[in-house]
Chains A and B, each alone.
Chain A
Amino acid sequence: MIEVGESGSRSEWTRSDVMSETSRSDVDLAVPIGRLRLPNPILVAAGTFGYAREMERVVDLGRLGGVLPKTITWEPRIGNAPWRTVETAAGLLNSIGLDNDGIEAFIAHHLPYLRGLGSAVIVSIAGRTEDEFVRMADRLAIEPGIAALELNISCPNVAHGVDFGADAEKCRRVVSRVRGATDTAILTKLTPNVTRIADIAEGATEGGTDGISLINTVLGMAVDWRARRPLLGNRIGGLSGPAIKPIALRCIYQVAERVSTPLIGIGGIGSIDDVMEFLVTGASAVQIGTANYYDPTVSTRILDGLPDAVRELGARSVIEIVGSLEGLARPGARGPA
């Protein structure tokens, strides 16, 4: 699948190269996500890029539209017992359990490095309660060099991880309380493990989020029948990778038809074709996740291919193509339709 798609697009790029070398610079890649302005729409997803430092030897980090370090919590968390990941067909099941050293260790050891990258730093936070989300936003509000917060209300691998992501009213409340605590841009990251994701997106929008990131992983399981045991230490976990791309695209589509809030597409993105599909379907930007694991330099290579792909649609900016899918009905005004 990937082979056909990618070799196809590579030959397209070659054709565009011949057309005009200067054309690349004509394409405006910048995208606004509420009060957040990104130089380009290619970001890397929380939990799939470590703390960015691990990648500095192979990725020119300053070129990325934004970097999301691994989700942090108020207290240190040791994380779940192994195995923490299992590969499945075209996908990866994980149950890491938000293994991290806590917010103070993040501020002391990782933030100084991140803010020097020259790329938008979007800090992913997970609170166990509304108050804890607010306390984390408050604590980070005095730290320079943070472009946005991403509220992770969608982690399937910890107790209460999706409490705020599975109920529109709870989602609205936590977003609006964080909104009250900080002037920093807010992204709200949603789980696909709900019946009507657009309802939750509406809650986030009413709460005042600048953007909505979707999707987090899809609940799944893997079993060794001979040993009669689940393979993950945590028994169940979240599925990511190419296997979930159709689910993610469907979520973007449904949410794009409900709210005009800018969307950030996540789920199975590993090529320029994948990125274009998300943009056309209504995402203003994308985050690359699992693909970083199996193709460490994929993010900047996709960025290299973006201008030509935009031009192929006869456009001169990324903004023009966002939500240009035939028949997509986006609500006009900001907020729920």
Chain B
Amino acid sequence: MIDSDRQTPRYADTLVHASVPIVSNERIAFDTYRLRFHCAEMATRFVPGQFLMVRIDGCQDPLLGRPFALFDTVLDAEERPIGIDVVYLVKGKLTSRLAKLERGAVLGVWGPLGNGFAPVAARRLIMAAGGIGQTPFLALGRESLGRRAYGTPARPILDVPDVILLYGARSADRLAGVDAFRDAGIDVRIATEDGSAGHRGRVTELLEACLAESASARGGVQVVACGPDPMLEAVSRLTREARVACRVSLETPMACGIGICFSCVARVRDGEGWDYRRTCVEGPVFAADSIVWSVKPGGRNDRA
């Protein structure tokens, strides 16, 4: 519906808006899917921690797009980025519909959006993920280990020797993408609430242990975290106590993803007080100590 040549993005600079057919859409864990589409113009611009909006083309219900982190770029035979992989959990109207779509179905996509993670300068990178919060960390892990370059112009090749993923989920069947992380050379440590895989308990317990073990690590430790707000709040408390730098990637519901609706706000410290700031423009990645954590607004917002 957007124009006759659905695969060609119309406006290429940093942000690209395109209509693209689904290349693949496979279930990889309980209610969790890996979606692939091709759009070289977008893929070459993405850096870890940025996100894109995905909408079902022409659909009025669900109407809006939903934000998804870059899981990874797809490379061609010459190692040039040609596509995007997204990993999503089925939790609302759009993701339920998306899970039923097959190869060839057309999506509206726009991205890359948001700030993403700054290149990591540390000897050890600890990535703490809860629920579907592992999704931004495969690309960040690859980049930090010096295995893949992202962005245009390409960001520097990094050499962080030690990259750890602490991954918490409700049960073993919900763990998604663990093999991809291990294949990338990332040290994966798992926690499940029911004990069906790894440590029985919460990812924050893994983090406490990992921080204790890292206390003597020379050259610096950095923590990044993504997951539900209560988990992020706990992570930021633990890292503050351990005096370790921490960045969090917020999972705020969004309507536009581009900064034009002002609905995705978080409370961000501003001088003595705080201000509502758009997480899609100023985030989704923030220094953990810049966020004023608040009680989650009530009810289930069907924005997924």
A18 adjacent to chain B (CB < 8 Å): no
CB-based contact A94/B263 at 8 Å: yes
CB-based contact B58/A6 at 8 Å: yes
B299 adjacent to chain A (CB < 8 Å): yes
Per-position 1/0 for B275-290, Cβ under 8 A of A: 1100001000000000
Measured CB to CB, the closest approach of chain A to B228, in angstroms, equals 15
Cα A70 to Cα B58 in complex, Å, equals 26
Cα A55 to Cα B60 in complex, Å, equals 22
* Given known A2-B58, A94-B263, A301-B3, contact A296–B276 (CB-CB < 8 A): no
Cα A305 to Cα B45 in complex, Å, equals 30
In the bound complex, residues from chain A placing their C-beta under 8 Å from that of B255 are 85, 87, 92, 94, 293
Which stretch of A139-147, A189-197, A200-208, A223-231 is in the interface? A223-231
Cα A91 to Cα B110 in complex, Å, equals 20
CB-based contact B297/A83 at 8 Å: yes
Per-position 1/0 for A78-109, Cβ under 8 A of B: 11011111110111101010010000000000
Determine which of A6, A47, A79, A227 lies in contact with B300 in the assembled complex, contact meaning CB atoms within 8 Å.
A227
Determine which of B60, B253, B261 lies in contact with A90 in the assembled complex, contact meaning CB atoms within 8 Å.
B60
A7 adjacent to chain B (CB < 8 Å): yes
Determine which of A47, A99, A224 lies in contact with B265 in the assembled complex, contact meaning CB atoms within 8 Å.
A99
CB-based contact A91/B63 at 8 Å: yes
B79 adjacent to chain A (CB < 8 Å): no
Total A-B contacts with CB atoms under 8 angstroms apart = 137
Determine which of B16, B260, B265 lies in contact with A82 in the assembled complex, contact meaning CB atoms within 8 Å.
B265
In the bound complex, residues from chain A placing their C-beta under 8 Å from that of B298 are 224, 227, 229-231
Which stretch of B6-14, B139-147, B214-222 is in the interface? B6-14
A233 adjacent to chain B (CB < 8 Å): yes
Cα A213 to Cα B255 in complex, Å, equals 24
CB-based contact A297/B55 at 8 Å: no
In the bound complex, residues from chain B placing their C-beta under 8 Å from that of A87 are 62-64, 93, 255, 302-303
Interface size, chain A (Cβ < 8 Å): 50
CB-based contact A3/B63 at 8 Å: no
Measured CB to CB, the closest approach of chain A to B145, in angstroms, equals 31
Cα A224 to Cα B60 in complex, Å, equals 21
Cα A111 to Cα B10 in complex, Å, equals 28
- Output the nearest chain B residue to A14 by Cβ-Cβ distance: B4
Cα A287 to Cα B276 in complex, Å, equals 27
Chain A residues 272 to 295 lying within 8 A of chain B, measured CB to CB, are 290, 292-295
In the bound complex, residues from chain B placing their C-beta under 8 Å from that of A99 are 262, 265, 276
CB-based contact A2/B17 at 8 Å: no
- Output the nearest chain B residue to A98 by Cβ-Cβ distance: B262
Determine which of B93, B275, B300, B303 lies in contact with A224 in the assembled complex, contact meaning CB atoms within 8 Å.
B300
Determine which of A57, A83, A90 lies in contact with B301 in the assembled complex, contact meaning CB atoms within 8 Å.
A83
A54 adjacent to chain B (CB < 8 Å): yes
- Residue from A1, A49, A231, A293 whose CB has the most chain B CB atoms within 10 Å: A293
Chain B residues 243 to 284 lying within 8 A of chain A, measured CB to CB, are 252-253, 255-256, 258-263, 265, 275-276, 281
CB-based contact A241/B263 at 8 Å: no
A58 adjacent to chain B (CB < 8 Å): yes
Hey, which bits of chain A sit against chain B, CB under 8 A? 1-3, 6-7, 10, 47-50, 54-55, 57-59, 70, 78-79, 81-87, 89-92, 94, 96, 99, 223-224, 226-227, 229-231, 233, 241-242, 290, 292-297, 301
Q: A82-B297, A83-B301, A86-B303 are in contact. List 6 more A-B contacts (CB 8 A).
A: A57-B11, A87-B64, A224-B299, A226-B300, A229-B299, A290-B63
Task: Supply 6 A–B pairs (Cβ within 8 Å), ascending by A.
Answer: A3-B58, A6-B1, A50-B261, A83-B253, A231-B298, A293-B64
Closest 9 CB pairs of A and B: A224-B299, A50-B260, A229-B298, A85-B263, A293-B256, A54-B259, A84-B263, A229-B299, A90-B60
